[in-house]
Each structure stands twice: as C-alpha cells, then as structure tokens.
A and B are shown apart, each in its own frame.
Chain A
C-alpha cells in the first residue's frame, strides 16, 4: 500500500493510506520551518523537477536532484542571507546539485549516451508539440542550456540568473548571446526570425 504525505495542519505531518486513514504522525522539529518546506514543495516542486530534467536530461535523476535540493535548502535556510528571492535560492541550490551530479565520473560517462528520444510524453489531451525546438535546446552545451532554461522558461532576469548560477551578469549575457547564436543557426525559419 502506497503512503503519501499530506500536510493536514500547521503543526504536524500525517501519513495516510489510500483510504485517507492516518497511519502515523510525526511532529517536525520546527513548525514554521516545516511549513516552509511543505510550501516549497507545493509551490516549486514541479518546476524544480522540470528544470532539473532540462539540465540532466533524465527524469529519474531529476526527481533525485529536486529531492536533494529541497533537503539542502531546508538545512541551509538558517544561514540564508536573504540576498535573493526564495525561488532563486531554491534554483541556485538545484543548479549546484545538478552540477555536482554532472561532475561525477559516473554521470559524465552516462550522460554521453542519453538520447533525446527519452523526452517525457506530454499529457494525452494536450496537442502533440513539435520536438524541433526542445531538441535544439537540450542539445546545447550544459552551461548554455542553463541560461536559456532560466531566461526563457523561468523568465528570470540576467541578475537573477547570475545569482542562481553564481556568475557575473556579464558572463550570463555572453552565454545567453552564444546560446541564442547557436539556436538561431539551428532553428532558422522557426521561432527565431531572421
């Protein structure tokens, strides 16, 4: 029987079975802190998984990376200086986590064998989109891909991307320019107008 988590009140987590009956409950070490974690997962969980997928190109690793990011963010929140928004804070941790994954020897060898046909299937009721653009973006080198994902998909500003990737705004701009040049070439006559 699968268990799933439901934050039923502000003071406790209750684990229930499929029928909704409580099977155990655990009080967190800090109520406010735990509510923040629940809020993060509700508000940004899907986005972080999708973003991690865009970087790692593997849906299972994307789940792992999002999990790691939430745990690291939760543990590090006390030392967060408030130098960026909460969302940027989470994305920064996620991107660092993804980078660590990519830097492992194992992942480096594996990554080269991942093919683009492993793109997740869209929902059945959604129209089947053309894969040209997403494949072009996912085939970009990882550091160019990151700025494209953050700028065009997450709609983040140059400064915010710099905060998330620990880069100067100048470097972000250069990477964005290079990524756009590459996409321009690959997507001629597509979304990128000449």
Chain B
C-alpha cells in the first residue's frame, strides 16, 4: 500500500471531527477589530501563576539535586575539553562528530568522526584519556594551518572556522561535501558494503555497543520528572549554560530502558539553542541513582 496515501487516510479519518469552531472564528474577528485580547495571553495569566508555583517547587527541589558523573561521562568531558583547548572546537561544531570509544589498560580512546560532511574535509579527531589527563590529535595535524585559516568552505581541509560556517550555511557546505561523495562513487563504482547489522526490534535502542530495551521504571527508579530535572541540571553544568536559558528548551523524548545487566537507564533528549545553533542534547542517567552516564550534543542536522 502506498505509505503516503495510507497515512493521509489515517489522519483524515482520525482528525475529521476537529473543526475550526464558529466561536473561534468570532474570536479572530473580534481580535482583528481590537475587541478582544489574545487567547493565550489571557490563559497565560492563569498559566503564569501555575508556572510560578511550579518553578518555586522545582527551584526548591533543584537545591537538593546533586549531579554525579560516571567515569564514562567524566572521560568524555575531559576529551571534549582537550578538543576545545587544542583545536578551538566548540560544543556546536563538535556536535557534528559522534564518537566511538574503546578502553585498553586504563587508556580510553575516543574517535570523533563527522557524519554530516565528508571525512576528507573534516578529518577525524582522536582523544586519549588516561589517569585523568586527556590528549587530542587530528588526522590533519600535519597540514599547514594556512590551508584552512581563511575559514572558506572551498578549502580542502575544514578547521573550526569552516565547521562554524557549515553550521550557518548547511546548503553551501553540503554542496562541497556532495561533490566529494560523487568523486568517491566515480572512483569506486563498485561500492563495498560493510556487514549489515541486525535491525533493532521495536522498543530496542543501541548505546555503546549494548542493546537496551524499553521498560517501565520500577519502584526504586527515578520518576520521569526527577530524571528530567537532573538531566537539565547536568547539561547546564557541563556546558556552562545558564539554567534559566534551558527553560526555553523543548523536551523531545524521555524513555526508560533496561540494560543487559538489569539496571535501568533514563534516556532523555531535548532541543537547546547553543550560540544560535539548533542542537539536540541526549542525556543518559542511571535509572535508580541518577548518575550521569553520558551527555551527547548533536548538531548539523544530526539532531
């Protein structure tokens, strides 16, 4: 069955009883004639009272929220800081580089690869964290910085300035990236596909090579509201953002999952503007203790 037609029919069937009410029509006319105040403003006066009471309750509750970070979260924070310091990257630009990690003899190696633009432009960053000290490297460390110092997207190597430009002008940046994709296809007409992994079943998510299963929080687990508060607080602390600014963020998803070891995880994502860049923040907390397991920022259309 054609998906497009099928979905349209479903929407039409379910929502056909919703109509723009005559009363609403009257309100619009009155408001355009200056006879009536905006609906939402009137409603907000009540809502504001409610919100203020709620805000007071939350501020009180937050005073008791202590954010604990797991070793994993601390390691990633150290790695991020090293990349900020050495290459001038920012949370927004680094948000285009999802990472993969491994651990050998207490040394945690994270490989940060851009999945928005061609890797030959952005290069790959690698961080190693051992004994609380992080070092960072870039696959273009040997390239003369004058190659990318201009910030022009036409440069063969993209540093921080190009990444910033790509976030501001994704269409232009995509053109450069697509041209390289095209070259790849022409040079390698027979594409070598990697091993296709098994698709995730309904209610499953993958996190750090582990499959998590959706579940209901138990009696000893945090409530969704408490988990959300900790997640926002943790994000504000780690990324140095005013807690108030985060009240403008929009909750996208809040799911409780079970790990293979039987422990619960809260997976919480919300939208946030980082220096004018639309970003998605994903925070994972231990379901029972609220310990921060990981915080990821996704930008550049990955979010």
Q: In the complex, how many residue pairs between chain A and chain B have their CB atoms under 8 Å apart?
A: 173
A134, B6: Cα distance in complex, Å? 11
Interface residues on A, range: 35 or more
Decide if B207 is an interface residue (CB 8 Å cutoff): no
- A126→B25 contact, CB < 8 A: no
Determine chain B's interface SS by DSSP, over half rule: helix
**Cβ-closest chain B residue relative to A74:** B32
Chain A residues, CB < 8 A from B24: 45, 49, 63, 66-67
Contact A122 to B14, CB < 8 A, known contacts A45-B25, A67-B27, A108-B250: yes
A143, B271: Cα distance in complex, Å? 10
Decide if A95 is an interface residue (CB 8 Å cutoff): no
A interface footprint on B284-301 (CB within 8 Å = 1, 0 otherwise): 000000000000000001
Select one of B3, B19, B26, B33 contacting A191, CB under 8 A: B3
Contact A102 to B250, CB < 8 A, known contacts A46-B19, A170-B301: yes
Decide if A81 is an interface residue (CB 8 Å cutoff): no
Decide if B248 is an interface residue (CB 8 Å cutoff): yes
A64, B28: Cα distance in complex, Å? 10
Contact A50 to B15, CB < 8 A, known contacts A28-B33, A64-B40, A142-B250: yes
- B22→A4 contact, CB < 8 A: yes
Chain A residues, CB < 8 A from B200: 185
- B4→A155 contact, CB < 8 A: yes
Interface residues on B, range: 35 or more
Decide if A133 is an interface residue (CB 8 Å cutoff): yes
A192, B38: Cα distance in complex, Å? 42
Contact A59 to B18, CB < 8 A, known contacts A66-B24, A109-B54: yes
- A193→B1 contact, CB < 8 A: yes
Chain A residues, CB < 8 A from B14: 119-120, 122, 129, 131, 134
Chain B residues, CB < 8 A from A99: 250
* Contact segment of B43-51, B83-91, B157-165: B43-51
Tell me which of A37, A50, A121 has the highest count of chain B C-beta atoms within 10 A of its own C-beta.
A50
- B20→A120 contact, CB < 8 A: no
Contact A143 to B247, CB < 8 A, known contacts A46-B19, A63-B24, A134-B11: no
**Cβ-closest chain A residue relative to B204:** A185
Determine chain A's interface SS by DSSP, over half rule: helix
- B39→A105 contact, CB < 8 A: no
Contact A112 to B251, CB < 8 A, known contacts A45-B20, A149-B11: yes
**A-B pairs with beta carbons under 8 Å apart, 8 shown:** A62-B18, A64-B43, A109-B54, A126-B13, A131-B14, A133-B10, A137-B11, A186-B202
Residues in B lying within 8 Å of A, measured CB to CB = 1, 3-4, 6-8, 10-29, 31-33, 38-40, 43-44, 47-48, 50-51, 54-55, 170-171, 174, 199-202, 224-225, 228, 247-248, 250-254, 269, 271, 301-302
Residues in A lying within 8 Å of B, measured CB to CB = 2-5, 13, 15, 26, 28-29, 34, 37, 41, 45-46, 48-50, 53-54, 59, 62-64, 66-68, 70-71, 74-75, 99, 101-109, 111-112, 119-123, 126-127, 129, 131, 133-134, 137, 141-143, 148-149, 151-153, 155, 168-171, 174, 185-186, 188, 191-193
